[in-house]
Amino acid sequence: MPDSFLFPLSSDPSTVSVLVVDDTSTNRFILAKLLSREGYDVYQAEDGYSALSIAETQQPTLILLDIMMPEMDGYEVCKQLRDNAKTADIPIIFLSSLDAPFDKVQAFHRGAADYVTKPFQAEEVLARVRHQVRLQLAQQQQQRLRAELENRVQERTQLLELAHDQLLEIALTDRLTRLPNRLSFVKRLSKVMAQVRLSTAVPATSELAGDHFAVLFLDCDRFKRINDSLGHRVGDQLLKGVARRLTQIQHECMAVDTIARFGGDEFALLLVNVPDRETVVAVAEDVISAVAMPFALAGREICINASIGLVWGEPTYVAAEHLLRDADVAMYRAKDCDRNQYLWFESAMHNRELDLLQLETDMRAALERKEFELYYQPIVDLTTIKIVGFEALLRWQHPTRGLVPPDEFIGFAEETGFIVPLGDQVLSMACADIARWEREGLIGPGVTVSVNMAAQQLLQPNIVERVEQVIESTGIASHRLRIELTERSIITNQSVVDEVLRALRDRNIQLSIDDFGTGYSSLSCLHTLPVNCLKVDRSFVQPITSNPESLGIVPLILNIAKTMNMQVIAEGIENITQLRALQKLGCEYGQGYLFQKAVPAERAIALLSRPLDSWNDWQHGWGESPGNHKASA
Ligand code: C2E
Ligand code: MG
Ligand code: MG
């Protein structure tokens, strides 16, 4: 590698300067001339003092320093140069007379880079100067490179730190609402929990002692419906609106430390330095009222409610996740209780969750072990009191609990989605029973069997094919099958359901609306639905007495059904007064304990060939006003 490449001395020697220090002017003159000719800038000093001053101000690349000088000798100058940070690194070549006592070891020890003996030879001086200058320049270049490298490393580090901060923010922030997310909340909660654990371990007089905290876990009721009906954009706006209102509460209440969105319509609030539970309840009530105020979105007013689970931060909690799990449980219980509610978590709730978990496990095993069976309740022609059909009602023959009614597990099966395989088995069992009865000639051509179907089951993409397949494999006449759907499942998923119902009607399957008149009024769209039967809910039948006012909306439902050419089945007829009133109103069909409770298949089919179990009992009272006569099962 050429010298000039490594050391740019020859290309630009003017940037290199040499200080010549000698008390003999002839020496200074000769050396200065020699060096100037080579292209160096040359400074001259005649004694140690001016040498020190020039070295500090001019910062020469190299110093040629005579040792033997009056007042301050070269060794002392060298020492002082080394002691000054500004000159400490300038290389020094000592000049010494051959006859003077010169200790080379001492010279290097004092910091000399080299030495030249006098009288000097021009070539030797130049060679040693060049060598030192090159070394010095190499060192400077190395320093520059190192500084540059350090700069670059620093810049990179800053960039990385910035990127890290940004990534951290992304990882800890909910994109939609800009609130902290679940991860961030868990971090903060864990920190607060650790502090509180510490504070409970210190004496009561300590500043930390007595800190309490609480968590509010909030879920917006019926948010999914708004999302489904008005679209995700409106749903997003709504969530942002909820976040804004919660943030406002945070500004107004010192105790609210952190508000986070956990995803979906779930939010959590962390309260710290809480004096008592009443403070937490007050915040929960504020949250409920804030969320309940209508939101103006998409040109309309939208109302939602919140359910909140509250957890008091007991120091016994070891992990934030445990506390959040309990808050979640309490929130779901609040939802179950009544909408628009808050509930404190209690350990009994946890037991219930465990019970439900057990129930789910048991149900799955029960399906395998065929512990589910169908009971049948007769549906009766109210004029002739003849059986025209049956409703298949599910029972669970539990190995230890005995016969479990559907109210105790259907709701839960719907919640967990287990209703889909369970409902599928119900359909297969009912069709298998019909097939057997048809084969054995036990049922007349008009007898139908009603099967209850849950919304989730109806929303299965292949439900029509599945029903068709069961009908084909059992070989039953499709008109025998009547599917009962609740008003609610039809209304909440109307567009999908409408298509499915039409496909089922095209296959000659009968469709009934169950529990008609409860809650979700479907009157407005009734005329468009392809159903052919309404079942009047037993809550309308049961209040019926001989007082005409007790009929309530039953006459209206019957009128509607007549206008729409639909059949009507009244549910829950328990006495003759109710039966008479319904007959008088022209209600064609009914079911209820007055005739028969739901019974196992064999007993139900046997009812077709003999009078209903209670027939004899109540027909004696026929026309004699037997009042609250109840049928025996
Ligand atoms: P539902 O479909 O409205 O069934 C009628 C319920 O009323 C049955 O209760 C029946 O035993 C009861 N009932 C009938 N007559 C009377 C009466 O005179 N008085 C009184 N107090 N009750 C009467 P069950 O069998 O306990 O079924 C309850 C609900 O469970 C059903 O209501 C239905 O919604 C659901 N369910 C039953 N089986 C199934 C099923 O296989 N699938 C689905 N998805 N749901 C089912
Ligand atoms: Mg039903
Ligand atoms: Mg019903």
Six token digits for residue 166: 């940004």
Name the pairing type of β-strands 386-398 and 448-452: parallel
Expressed in percent and rounded to 5, the helix, strand and coil fractions of the chain are 50, 20, 30
Residues less than 5 Å from ion ligand 3, measured at CB: 514-515, 571
Contact 329, 345 (CB under 8 A): yes
536 lines ligand 1 (CB under 6 A): no
Contact 190, 320 (CB under 8 A): yes
Kindly give the distance from the C-alpha atom of residue 443 to the centroid of ligand 2, in angstroms, as a whole number: 21
**What ligand has the least distance to the C-alpha of 454?**
1
Kindly give the distance from the C-alpha atom of residue 572 to the centroid of ligand 1, in angstroms, as a whole number: 9
Confidence of residue 31 (pLDDT cuts 50, 70, 90): very high
614 lines ligand 1 (CB under 6 A): no
Q: What local confidence, expressed as pLDDT, does residue 619 receive?
A: 56
- Which residue's alpha carbon is nearest to atom 15 within ligand 1? 592
The 10s digit of each residue's pLDDT in 114-154 is 999 888 899 999 999 999 999 988 888 898 999 998 898 88
Confidence of residue 588 (pLDDT cuts 50, 70, 90): very high
Q: How far apart are CA 84 and CA 105, in angstroms?
A: 22
- What's the burial of 305, exposed, middle or buried (CB within 10 Å: 0-12/13-18/19+)? middle
Kindly give the distance from the C-alpha atom of residue 408 to the centroid of ligand 3, in angstroms, as a whole number: 16
Kindly give the distance from the C-alpha atom of residue 426 to the centroid of ligand 1, in angstroms, as a whole number: 14
Label residue 370 left, alpha or beta by phi (over 0 means left) and psi (-120 to 50 means alpha).
left
Six token digits for residue 218: 């909030």
Report which ligand 1 atom has the smallest distance to the Cα of 515. 3
Kindly give the distance from the C-alpha atom of residue 407 to the centroid of ligand 3, in angstroms, as a whole number: 12
- CA-closest candidate to residue 582, choices 564, 594, 570: 570
The 10s digit of each residue's pLDDT in 555-580 is 988 998 898 899 999 999 999 999 99
Report which ligand 1 atom has the smallest distance to the Cα of 374. 41
Ligand 1 pocket test, pick from 376, 391, 393 with the greatest ligand atom count within 8 Å of Cβ, gives 393
Report which ligand 1 atom has the smallest distance to the Cα of 453. 44
Q: How far apart are CA 278 and CA 76, in angstroms?
A: 83
**pTM given for the model:** 0.55
624 lines ligand 1 (CB under 6 A): no
Kindly give the distance from the C-alpha atom of residue 514 to the centroid of ligand 1, in angstroms, as a whole number: 10
424 lines ligand 1 (CB under 6 A): no
Kindly give the distance from the C-alpha atom of residue 258 to the centroid of ligand 1, in angstroms, as a whole number: 47
Grouping H, G, I as helix, E, B as strand and the rest as coil, residue 283 is helix
Whether the predicted pLDDT of 299 surpasses 90: no
How many residues are there in the chain?
Answer: 633
Whether the predicted pLDDT of 617 surpasses 70: no
- CA-closest candidate to residue 601, choices 436, 448, 366, 481: 436
598 lines ligand 1 (CB under 6 A): yes
Q: What local confidence, expressed as pLDDT, does residue 155 receive?
A: 86
Q: Is the peptide bond before 530 cis (omega within 30 degrees of 0)?
A: no
Confidence of residue 490 (pLDDT cuts 50, 70, 90): confident
